[in-house]
Structure 1
Amino acid sequence: MIKVFLSHQSADTLIAGQIAARLKRMHGIDSYLDVIDPYINRRGEDLAAHIRQEMGNCTQLLAVISDSTRSSQWVPWEIGVATEKDFPLATYASSGASTPEFLRKWPYLRSEADLDRYATASKSARSTLVQKREYLTESAARRTSTEEFFKTLRGSLGQ
């Protein structure tokens, strides 16, 4: 099962919802989107613990970035948590926003076609993870599948 944690600033809720809908409709991929979550109005440690719990139910992270992301404390934090978990990670630049240099470490998407490439790479990496779990530790299998995700997605995006 693939489940994407959609990290985004509240100003980007509409585009994040469109991404979640496309992933589900076109690719059968579920997403976690915090706009429907009763915890969203909580602050500090309670919210951080809740986000970590929800991320634990996901298999990867897609960060929706825009000019509004600069004011977010949570999007960079969520990216950090996903990195610690060896999640396949990518960014989606909405509204023609430029991808900050530090986020170019990961594949970056700019269109629906790129989102479709993301879904294909996600499915391939998930298949690799399942296969590698048979003879590698969980962390080694996750690392290997995440590396495949990055290689496959970057290749299809020309990055």
Structure 2
Amino acid sequence: MPVFISYRHTDRPHAIAISTRLIRANIKTYFDVLDPESQTTDDITGVITRNITACTHLIAVVSDKTALSWWVPFEIGEATISNRRICSFKTEPTELPLYLDKWPKLSTDKDLEFFIDAYREEVATKRSMSLDSINESLYGTYSRNAELFHDHLKNRIKRGF
């Protein structure tokens, strides 16, 4: 159940820090700079789509620079189509697009710990799986489980514990 890290390249230091923290928590991540194929292909869209499909979660690193990116919104859109667990991680005080209100918004190390806890709970209860392992009859359940993940994490961030 890898986590896809979406970011604008100017926000790479934040993305690296998030990926490193997840890896230390034994959570596998997909990070494009570590993928030789993403560095050499002419079909970057295909590589991104395939890797989002292989992941179960997506964290979009957002800053005021993200608004200048075409890739981050594309990756969020791909994750939305696949009912991925989506979160944004705001790196600085900035106005976020309203469409990100649908999902949990992380902005601190504590929020990232809440994400890690919610991720582990999903692993323990087997509520999250890759899209290629879902048949039509399980798709509705998977979608409801994604909503459950988002609601639970949003409430935990709001409560602060």
Shorter-normalised TM-score: what interval? 0.7 to 0.9
Instruction: Give the alignment's TM-score, normalised by structure 2.
Output: 0.85
SS at match of 2:39: helix
Distance 2:70 2:39 in 1: 14
Unaligned runs of at least 5 residues, structure 1: none
Deviation at 1:20, TM superposition (A): 0.6
Task: Kindly tell me the number of residue pairs found equivalent between the two proteins.
Answer: 152
Aligned ranges for residues 5-154 of structure 1 at < 5 Å?
5-25=4-24, 27-38=25-36, 39-40=38-39, 42=41, 46-126=43-123, 127-129=125-127, 137-154=137-154
Cα RMSD for the two superposed structures: 2.2
SS at match of 1:91: strand
Instruction: Give the alignment's TM-score, normalised by structure 1.
Output: 0.86
SS at match of 2:87: strand
Unaligned runs of at least 5 residues, structure 2: none
**Percent of aligned positions that are identical:** 30
Pick closer, same or farther for the CA change 1:93–1:75 going to 2, 3 Å.
Answer: same
- Give the aligned residue type for 1:3: P
Distance 1:22 1:89 in 2: 17
Distance 2:19 2:144 in 1: 26
Q: In the alignment, which residue of structure 1 is the partner of 2:155?
A: 155
- Give the aligned residue type for 1:7: S
